[in-house]
Amino acid sequence: MVDYEKQFEEASYTATQAKAAVAVFPLVYGWMCAALALSGGVAWYVLASGLWKSIFSVPYMFLGCIIGEIVLVIALSAAIRKIPYAMAVAVFTAYATLNGLTLSVVGLAYEITTIQQAFFVSAGMFGGLALYGTFTKADVSGVGSFCGMALWGLILASVVNLFVGSGALDWVVCVVGVAVFCGLAMWDAQKIRYLAAASAEMDATDVRKAALMGSLELYLDFINLFLYLLRLFGRRR
């Protein structure tokens, strides 16, 4: 498989590449929107049907779902170059479905108006950041690298606060989380632009796989931005 990460660094638009890019952007953002719709649909069904009572009454089921999500993301990232495209799509779909299951608890914890506000604010912020990352001539890879490193500190602080239970630390974590995923959304969107520019020189299967991974990264950026904003709005049941 072509090393499209290297292509990200070297690519620049030409007329031929711009033509090839027309197929890349709908592919990436189409998969992202489909995954978000699937996760939202699963979360709604689990809540509306009362299925959450059966699922989360099982000891450690929620924790098992979280671990399952992590395993799926790591497995897909590690094996994307080797597995068939259809299998990669299946893993991505399974992840979005499982994430919808865990996101159902959001409907139990927060008022519907708060969820709606957080979603529309997230959509507006994400859309603006994605547009900037796509069309700016500035290189935002430095921002992306910094946010990637800051993410580890964010995870550590979140784990510590599970034991400390500090409201002030939780607020700081949420603010930093919003900033981190804003930066990552901008950087990941720019990587999609570079992929689009490089796509004319890549195998069609490689392009589809790279686009799928790009959509996963953008999906994760949006979901995490939404969750941190939701915690900041803070109107819980």
User: What are the structural domain ranges in the chain?
Assistant: 15-233
- Dist CA 208 CA 196 (whole Å): 11
pTM assigned to the model: 0.87
Tens of pLDDT, residues 65-84? 888 888 988 988 888 888 99
- Dist CA 212 CA 174 (whole Å): 28
Is the backbone of residue 234 left (phi > 0), alpha (psi -120 to 50) or beta? Answer: left
- Dist CA 108 CA 77 (whole Å): 31
Tens of pLDDT, residues 180-231? 999 999 999 999 988 887 777 778 888 889 899 999 999 999 999 999 999 8
- Dist CA 161 CA 159 (whole Å): 5
Could you give the dihedral angle defined by the CA atoms of residues 101, 107, 108 and 113, in that order, rounded to the nearest 10 degrees?
Answer: 170
Q: Which of 95, 93, 115 is nearest to 44 (CA)?
A: 115
- Dist CA 116 CA 121 (whole Å): 9
